[in-house]
Amino acid sequence: MAHPMGEAKPGPLRVGFDRRLKLEFHGSQLSSDGGLLPYRELDDVLGLSTLAGDALSEVRRGKNARHLLTGLLRQSVYGRLAGYEDVNDAERLSLDPVMRAIVERKGLDGRAASSSQIGRFETAWLASEENLAALVDLSGAWIDRARNSSKTIVLDFDSSVSPTHGEQEGSSYNGHFGCTCYHPLFVFNQFGDLERCALRPGHVHSAEGWRELLEPVVRRYRDRAGRRYFRADAAFAAPEVYEYLEAEGFFYAIRLPGNQVLQRRISHLLTRPVGRPPRHVRRYYYSFDYQAQSWDRARRVVAKVEWHPGELIPRFGFVVTNLERSAERVTAFYNQRGKAEQWIKEGKNAINWTRLSCQKFRANEVRLQLHALAYNLANFMRTLALPRAMVHWSLTTLREKLVKIGARMVRHGRYITFQLAEVAVSARMFGQILARIARLRAPPVPA
């Protein structure tokens, strides 16, 4: 039977290649996630957990509700940040010294939440309609706290696939992705923060529910951002989208599906040039006004045509926009939308937000929102606190090299020391991260 504080009673394990080596497990004194501590410092400086505790405690009554909920939410979010996305992982994490230090100040004197406690918190309490609504709004509230000085906002809309297994509610076959899945919808800003997301059944169209997801984000920036931009692929090329964005004062660039009318407008660019083709790609841009039958008026369309060496047929595409910049600059602006696909890929690989394994759809909605909070905390670290040597690290690299630092807890009377391994991240780099985080702390209010 295991020791209540995680120490194993049996003797050390041995390896055959060198009999001098002994292996001992000290679960309550050692951790493989020492790099979570600067994330907790960033959380404290920005007041993210406090903000979450305030929002969630508003829908719960009872003594110490805010304190309890903040600790449970931290354990759920930081567990996902470190790669422990299953509720079953909480049993071991409840003994981990780093996790206990993160959850609350007094956590090192006891245990963090068990699997059953985290399970009830995620699949029962947070799954109520009122609590889920508060959870969905948290990502935007965190971003407002971290990016309060931003005067320009660029929103990127995109959908993705979360494969499912078994008889999960809302799971259905999607012909485009070729699998049984959920079909979540995401909206990012230019910093890579996940502004808002929604879990949807697998069979819905990519643009299903776009307005319900976008409106709360637009409302937050209505009176704060000077210039506002929107980008999306051809799934969102619909007149109701254009009209809504124009009414809200957004500049937009949205991919437009091609048709014969549009191709006729650029026919002069689709004729193969005379002479021997060069060895480089030839690009041509063209801008014109176009009105589809379902549109209330004509809008500007930008076309891009590429002739590639060795190809007989050109590649071309169209973007509908209300931007006044040159056709080449409009295309360059739209092409930046590809970053959203990269951010979704990072969410899948670093945060594993496709791990939506509950049977009930509502419980999986909660899981996606918790993954979104973990993703945003990781992205805040990447964009606000990393030194120059680490600024290009992906979220996956951050988890593997920063979060996964071995740590040993040592008590010294009044103090507790975490002795950290120094491999991929040096003590100097670690100190630079903490210094950059300290500069984000708001100055004290004068008495």
User: 82 in a domain, yes or no?
Assistant: yes
For 8, phi then psi, to 5°, come to -85, 135
Q: What is the rounded distance in angstroms from the CA atom of residue 159 to the CA atom of residue 137?
A: 19
Asked whether residue 378 falls in the same domain as residue 296, the answer is no
pLDDT value for 9: 59
Q: Does residue 63 have a pLDDT over 50?
A: no
- Mean pLDDT estimate for the chain: 90
List the Cα angle 198/202/207 in 5-degree steps: 55
pLDDT value for 166: 82
Asked whether residue 36 falls in the same domain as residue 97, the answer is yes
User: 380 in a domain, yes or no?
Assistant: yes
Of 15 and 264, more confident: 264
pLDDT value for 22: 74
Asked whether residue 305 falls in the same domain as residue 413, the answer is no
Structure tokens at 273: 């040039």
pLDDT value for 296: 92
Asked whether residue 328 falls in the same domain as residue 401, the answer is no
Asked whether residue 321 falls in the same domain as residue 368, the answer is no
pLDDT value for 275: 77
Q: Does residue 414 have a pLDDT over 50?
A: yes
Burial of 297: CB neighbours in 10 Å, binned 0-12, 13-18, 19+: exposed
pLDDT value for 446: 62
**Mean pLDDT for the stretch of residues 221-234:** 91
pLDDT value for 342: 95
Q: Does residue 442 have a pLDDT over 80?
A: no
Q: What is the rounded distance in angstroms from the CA atom of residue 370 to the CA atom of residue 184?
A: 14
Of 316 and 69, more confident: 316
User: 176 in a domain, yes or no?
Assistant: no
Of 405 and 223, more confident: 405
Domain that residue 244 falls in: 234-336
pLDDT tens profile 118-148: 999 998 889 999 999 999 999 999 999 999 8
Q: What is the rounded distance in angstroms from the CA atom of residue 360 to the CA atom of residue 123?
A: 9
pLDDT value for 67: 53
Number of domains within the chain: 2
Asked whether residue 303 falls in the same domain as residue 380, the answer is no
The three-state (H, E, C) secondary structure of 161-218, written as one string: CEECCCCCCCCEEECCCCEEEECCEEEECCCCCEEEEECCECCCCCCCCHHHHHHHHH
Side-chain-facing half-sphere of 61: CA atoms under 13 Å: 0
**Mean pLDDT for the stretch of residues 75-80:** 94
59: which strand partners? Answer: none
pTM of the model: 0.91
